[in-house]
Amino acid sequence: MPNRTWTGAVAASARGGSAAFGGWLRTPSGILVWRSAERIGDLTLRQAVDRGMSALLRVSLAHRASGPGVAVWPEAPLRYGKALLRQVEDAEALALAESVLPPPAEFAVAGIEMIEPGHYVAHGTRDYKVWPLLGVCSCPAFTYGASRPCKHIKAALEAERQVG
């Protein structure tokens, strides 16, 4: 029996006082029929997910998708009509949501502490080890390749310029 499940995802993110959702919908054969990201202002993540789900379901109905298997992040599991909403971390939908948010504020040089020449600690929500001259940082953005050089390396390089 052929696969008849439409798949989709919605994710929400917030930064700088704004929330956004990103989402996508694919046919049973994997063809992308909808991909969207919308910045929606000062809402909670749950409200952003609800807005994204509404958009996804409108598109599903427009394409006559019969009961899409939908993945929602960060909230779930729940049922939306015939669709079962499961909790997954969907990188594509999350990247869409984050693409419409304001860029993160640059890390303040004041949050950088020199341990020894060429070795710093970036203080913030967490502490990260930074080796600016090697171009290496222990933060997730650098480790997982989302941002190279990351904001911590940039801040440590600026601190190096001020010292030297």
164 residues of the chain, pLDDT tens digit each: 455 678 888 888 887 678 899 998 888 888 999 999 999 888 888 888 888 888 988 888 888 776 555 555 444 445 555 555 555 567 888 888 888 887 655 555 668 888 888 889 998 778 899 999 888 999 888 888 766 788 899 888 888 877 66
User: Strands (DSSP E) along 61-141, which ranges?
Assistant: 69-73, 78-80, 83-87, 112-116, 119-122, 128-131, 136-137
The class level of CATH for 7-99 reads: alpha beta
pTM of the model: 0.57
Please provide residue 104's backbone torsions phi and psi, each rounded to the nearest 5 degrees.
-65, 145
Domain coordinates in residue numbering, the chain:
7-99, 109-163
